[in-house]
Chains A and B, each alone.
Chain A
Amino acid sequence: MSVETHLTIILGGILLGGIYGLIALGLTMVFGVSRILNVAHGDFVILGSIFGLIVTTLSGQSPFLILPLIPPLFFAAGILFEKTMVRRVIMRNTENTLAVSILATLAFAMIVEDISFFGLGQAGLNYVSLQVFLQPINILGFIIPTTRFISLIATVMLALAARMIIQSTTFGRRLRATIQDRELAEVVGVNVSRMSALSFGFGAALAGISGLFLAMITSLTPFQGLQFTVIALTVVILGGLGSFTGSIVGGLVIGIAEAYTAFLWGTNWARVVAIIVMIAVLVVKPSGIFGGRR
């Protein structure tokens, strides 16, 4: 393989992996703060793409222009999800939160997927796709597809922004404190239940943005919601549950591994490799690449 081929594959992998990392970041944040396994997390990705489809169709604008609409809306949706599903359903009983969180969010995922599939079907669509065709740009002799390139830069910037928020702001410090020790965080004055709501909002916003980007580079069906949850979970396990750096690095590892597999053996093998990588990492280091305690 030539250098260009490698570069194209790696850039594609970084784009995909960056998006996976953003999805996983939200998932691991939610899990870390509230100890809830949100199986419906991938459905926020799909909802992001469906929202993008509706707004671009109605307004005729480019998907890039509606990008700023997604974070506030999905942040609100995530908080609404936390206030209703999590507070009213999952937190009602304190004994087996994990089981109830799996059950309730799975049920939510089924409802959302079925309704959005029906809605798309009514609109005469089988899948969501927002692929925009811009003139490819030529940098140093490499032909680079513009949409993917802009998405790549936006994804990397988002990941850096998310990392900065988590590392340097008061919100981020409170968030990390809650993840490390919920009780102690409460003792030093962190409003833990507010953190829980904010983490759901933050996670949903990241998932929504990721959905829009994914729809720009590929096509999605509503029933892929659980699939994205599984990908995000693979990334999270790979990087270490509760580790933010781990989710981004894990996302990149999976993204690049998938890109190479897709090139060498075809796209249908990509998912297999991602999970085999996860199992291999678990054999060597059960807490994940960046995981501390299990």
Chain B
Amino acid sequence: MNLWKTIIPVTAVALAAVASIPLYSSPYIISLLFFLFTFVGLAIAYDIFGGFSGYYNLGFGAFFAIGAYTFPILSLGRLGFQTHPIIAFIAAPLFSGVAAFLLSYPFLRLRGAYFAVATFGLIPLMYNLARNLSTITGGASGIQIVITEFFGMLPGFYIAMAVTVAAAVTHHLIGRSRVGLALRSIKEDEDVASEYGINGFAVKRLVYVISGMYAGLLGANFGFGLGVVSPDGVLNLEIALAPLIMTIFGGPASLTGAILGGSLITLIQEFLWLNIPFFHLATYGLIILLVAIFAPQGVVRIRFRRRLGRVPVAAPLNT
């Protein structure tokens, strides 16, 4: 516990330092921090379900999008009634949570690749719904959120930071709780876990909903910060698959991994967008390929593996 006595104050000081950055820096830095915290938060939220349980939730971006759309749809009265922005902001994660709860019935009964493949379908589903329901969602051009002194990047950054810290605490608590233990045993062997009395479906659903709610909250904040929510803005595959790439890059089922993966991938993408006129998608792909080759367990586990040496592992032939 001595370690925690140092980690908590150090983290608090670091966060306070980051929170003070907008006081003396340019709008570019604020927007960069906004994206950074949004994506680190998404990576952590993804990892709460995907990392611990070993399920690859390729449809995670759908919950992000539901949150992103719920906020302007409710606060701008797209459905015929207008709610207070704060209520709309609170409703966003709830809607994502309800969607996750309902979608758990078709999806969480699937395992392994089946789950990954089926949830992937949610991204084009949401994308096409967002484009087609144009009276509600504004179609391809999306919804503009009028930026006043209340809205915008700066409060968005603080909210993203707060949500990310909350997600990190949740990740930590779940990792140490019985639920986390149950998820790890599900990752090892779901059938054996259920033999030992773990209600796999209920545990997975609980965490799936929590993970989806954080995504919804960050989604609402994303639209709020950018001032526009459009299908190509919140549902493109780069954003939808970013949390998955980030957690594998950093190392799944690890808070450090999610934070590291989230920040490194965001910074790499930012660097590529700024410095490479052509082929930034290809370059990004090349970087991911290098990760898959050299750090398939995530960057946080590179050193660990070297120290242990290559442990001969029997190949699971029919998994």
Answer yes or no: B178 CB below 8 A from chain A CBs: no
How many chain B residues touch the partner (CB < 8 A)?
53
CB–CB B296/A100 < 8 A: yes
Return the chain B residue nearest A265 by Cβ: B132
Answer yes or no: A114 CB below 8 A from chain B CBs: yes
Q: Which of B286, B313, B315 contacts A107 (CB 8 A)?
A: B286
CB–CB A93/B297 < 8 A: yes
CB–CB A182/B318 < 8 A: yes
Interface hits, A77-136 → B, CB 8 Å: 88-90, 92-100, 102-104, 106-111, 113-115, 118
> A268 vs B124: C-alpha distance in the bound complex, in angstroms?
11
> A278 vs B118: C-alpha distance in the bound complex, in angstroms?
8
CB–CB A275/B124 < 8 A: yes
Residues of A within 8 A of B287 (CB): 107
CB–CB B285/A237 < 8 A: no
Residues of A within 8 A of B121 (CB): 230, 233-234, 237, 275, 278-279
> A233 vs B282: C-alpha distance in the bound complex, in angstroms?
24
> A95 vs B241: C-alpha distance in the bound complex, in angstroms?
21
Given A278-B118, A279-B121, are A98 and B113 also a contact pair (CB < 8 Å)? yes
CB–CB B313/A95 < 8 A: yes
CB–CB B110/A294 < 8 A: yes
> A93 vs B245: C-alpha distance in the bound complex, in angstroms?
17
> A258 vs B183: C-alpha distance in the bound complex, in angstroms?
38
Answer yes or no: A269 CB below 8 A from chain B CBs: yes
Return the chain A residue nearest B236 by Cβ: A223
CB–CB B128/A35 < 8 A: no
CB–CB A110/B284 < 8 A: yes
Given A102-B116, A227-B124, A286-B106, are A294 and B111 also a contact pair (CB < 8 Å)? yes
Answer yes or no: B117 CB below 8 A from chain A CBs: yes
> A236 vs B121: C-alpha distance in the bound complex, in angstroms?
12
> A282 vs B125: C-alpha distance in the bound complex, in angstroms?
15
Answer yes or no: A183 CB below 8 A from chain B CBs: yes
> A26 vs B313: C-alpha distance in the bound complex, in angstroms?
30
CB–CB A94/B315 < 8 A: yes
Return the chain A residue nearest B315 by Cβ: A94
> A189 vs B241: C-alpha distance in the bound complex, in angstroms?
40
CB–CB A118/B279 < 8 A: yes
CB–CB A31/B128 < 8 A: no
Return the chain A residue nearest B318 by Cβ: A182
Q: Which of B107, B128, B317, B318 contacts A272 (CB 8 A)?
A: B128
Residues of A within 8 A of B117 (CB): 37, 233, 236-237, 241
Answer yes or no: A4 CB below 8 A from chain B CBs: no
Residues of A within 8 A of B110 (CB): 282, 286, 294
CB–CB A108/B297 < 8 A: no
Answer yes or no: B73 CB below 8 A from chain A CBs: no
CB–CB A114/B285 < 8 A: yes
Q: Which of A35, A37, A88, A108 contacts B319 (CB 8 A)?
A: A35
Return the chain B residue nearest A241 by Cβ: B114
Q: Chain A nearest CB: distance from B147 CB in Å? A: 30
Residues of B within 8 A of A110 (CB): 281-282, 284-285, 288
CB–CB A114/B279 < 8 A: yes
| Most chain A beta-carbon contacts within 10 A, residue among B111, B241, B279, B282 | B282
Q: Chain B nearest CB: distance from A127 CB in Å? A: 17
Give B260-288 as 1s and 0s: 1 = Cβ < 8 Å from A's Cβ atoms: 00000000000000000011111011111
Q: Which of A104, A237, A268, A283 contacts B289 (CB 8 A)?
A: A104
Cross-chain pairs A/B with CB under 8 angstroms, 8 sampled: A99-B56, A107-B287, A109-B285, A110-B281, A111-B286, A272-B128, A275-B124, A279-B106
